[in-house]
Chain A
């Protein structure tokens, strides 16, 4: 039985006890998946599982579990998605007992941005792509009558290159085989490249990038770990942390808020950057904080349901902090 068949079977059995199960279905064209809310048996047939299933569905949980008439929620999760649920559970942000997770092993998801870039480089227009096939470590796209083939590693989400948790953890169900843990690189290539720049160059880069931010807050709203909803300090007037002026400085300040509030919580799902309509490389910020957290406290968000997040505790003698040396 394929992973998808198995997944459907598990959902079918569990559905009578659940108000809704969220997974993915084919979207408006061959290139896109879209979230699917399964409420009846028939809905299950529309479920898909492929590298197009990029969305981290955990984003719905904090809102949904507070919705009247929704008592129990099922969710299909990849490895990275499951870490959001683990972290939210640790922080007691979701009633874990009312959530049923259907886990899968994941071999990586497609980055539409990277694929579109490749296709356009080849002289085609993205609008002309009409089918996509995932074939081992190759991706084949039919575009304008031609078939273009790319290495999967060159068009997958950047997070998948460093992924250490491809198999969903702490789930009630698991469909298919465990996939091998095989990170392609230690550090995200974009971060590695960016770190080669001098401080001046970095500052100039952000100054330039931040003026493009339209402050749509998609990066915040799509983040599974952003739980403050209508109480976010970036939109509060009292205290007034960020003004409505959309200057580089104010937009940058907003990014600092998101990064700081995700310190020790960000599970590197990359949804913030994926959602950004102007493609700001804000994962550079998030990843740096993730690395700092790991180097200083040996902590990986959402990896261990029993662990205490480092910013909620302390050690009298810290292992890796040498603050007196200046």
Chain B
């Protein structure tokens, strides 16, 4: 093996996040066959998950466990990761384009004085052996391909876009514990309030059901939440709904909100402004429910229902409930 690529894996609620498997797959594709893929797990209980990372394609797993790593602290996580990087000397480091990855990757890129390609949705190796990274710009209104001109590479991978490798139950990996360097922390995490609105993370959800100003009140999101519960999806929103105070800005999808790429996107009571469409137009299947047959959202929807969302959504929930019953 001539090269080593390092993947920064993430957990949530004690299990690995789906994006971690996708990121291992991304590193494999980018590196080709002569590259060893190592994964790093930061935080308590990390070593218990090493096997699972191996099954999804990691050849080696580094762990750093310390109380400072219980919650994301930019300084503590950077120090831990930097210790691993110094030990592993990777040629590339891959992160999920998540709250943690987005914050940690540029710190490392700055420290190493190297390039970073962010929010990657596809990777290919071209005829001349160059690795090309596709990323949406202008919130998906254009797609660019980028390549690195120097090593090491730093990449963040958008959740839900790269297919994980099929798990192989017989694969195992070496593990290596790295000592936490115990830096002086200036930043203190006083409190973490877990997201109560959506149980499933929007960026990773396979189904997203979004409400716009058409839901008319915070209560108007209830029917959407019920449908989301039946489909195992997450609830999102347009800026119209956020600005009106019906929901938190954390739910906003669009050019200045989150960009989502689920299998199924349902827009209920959303007109389809260009800034909203920018954040959801690469969803695989789009459904629009709107009273106004002229609403621009119908121009990009695979299926449209002209109707009142308060009538249509509960009927859909009923329909799915019956059909999906075991």
B is a partner of A: no
